Amino acid sequence: MKPYQILKELSSNPKALKGASDEFWHGCYHGTSESPYPIKFSVSDPFKYGNGIPDNLFPKVINGMNDGSLNEDDFAIAMGKFSINCQETEWLEWFKPILNKTLSLPISNREFNKYAPEEYQLDTVPQRDVISLTDARKLPKNFFFEPYYDLPIYHWHLTPKGVFIYDEYGERFDHPAIDSLYDVEKILNDTIILEGILDDDLWIFRDILTATQFSGNQPSLPLEYRLQLLVEFYRQVLEPRGEYFAIADVYKGTVGDDSNNTRTSFNLLVEQGFTQVLIRDITKEYFEGSDILVNPDRQSILTCTDITTSEELGDDVAEYIHGRGRIDKKSFNTPVFHGLTFDTRTELMNNKDSFIGKRFVVMSCGRGSDDKLVFPIFKHWRKK
């Protein structure tokens, strides 16, 4: 089949790529690439069309332009002769989109790369691993955590040539917010990559990188410094350009003796309706380690055994409800902090004796190796 015929079949039959020629791979690679051609030219339709182009002639023209063996005049002459010998369909649906770099593949870049030779592989968006928390001991000593939105990740490429958005499959994504950054390329010397999600019409950005850091060809800064740069970039570039843009709410966390602020911040998110958070190691580069998802989706019924407070909260406000329960036929005792409002904490201490022995429902990430629930969240007292 001719390359444009293969292109038509892909949406319903990706296996058509198995019979693709080198000319097809070459055309797809150059027609979908962001990198500009070394010669500036405009593409115009011929006044008449011919009987068709011999196989492998077009790659020779493109390669000649790219390697410098065809200068601007030679290329213009070659393309003039080339276009009038094309069939109308192959010019409009294949050669012209390649020259304009507007060729659109009806499948994802990942699907394309399953069949493409190595030299014609298309860029795909790198995805970091996200693992579910099942053991609190797996948490890094110092970390950031943020509300988790169960939404796809997008990457904004702010380049000196324009602004482009790519979805999780490496496909181009269009959105009106691009228009707000119509002239941002004037202040850029290098490509900036922003990682974010789209919540309704609000773009929430959560990371920033250079192009070489995003490709993995250069180490990135640790997360702590990347987030500082993101805040500065937001204030100087994004915030003045309208209401499309925001940055993720990020909280600093730690484990061990200094974890009171961590519990308080996480509890604030719970009160706001967020039941999942994403934990990221403060010291890690972009591709180091995995993001840790705190997803308390396991329900347990506990019996209240004690209610305790702390010097920081005072004698009138509860810090923990202690509960006894069973998971996988094993008994455990665990303290519960999250999900308790200030009013509830006051009521618990004022009526402590009446709550001892009552049963309550918690959601957690399961039982950890220390026989305590991992991130338990108080839901409600159980009715008799």
Q: What is the pLDDT of residues 349-361, one digit of tens each?
A: 999 999 999 999 9
Mean pLDDT of 259-285: 88
pLDDT confidence of residue 381: 94
- pLDDT confidence bin for 43, thresholds 50/70/90: confident
CATH number corresponding to 125-293: 3.30.470.30
pLDDT confidence of residue 356: 95
Region of poorest pLDDT, from 64-68, 261-265, 279-283, 290-294: 261-265
Pick 293 or 124 by higher pLDDT: 293
pLDDT single digits (tens) 85-137:
999 999 999 999 999 988 888 887 878 888 999 899 887 777 778 899 988 77
> What fold, for 296-381?
OB fold (Dihydrolipoamide Acetyltransferase, E2P) (2.40.50)
pLDDT confidence of residue 246: 96
The domain limits of the chain are 3-120, 125-293, 296-381
pLDDT confidence of residue 122: 84
- pLDDT confidence bin for 14, thresholds 50/70/90: confident
- pLDDT confidence bin for 278, thresholds 50/70/90: very high
pLDDT single digits (tens) 314-324:
788 899 999 99
- The model's pTM is 0.70
Q: Tell me the pairing of strands 202-210 and 192-199.
A: antiparallel
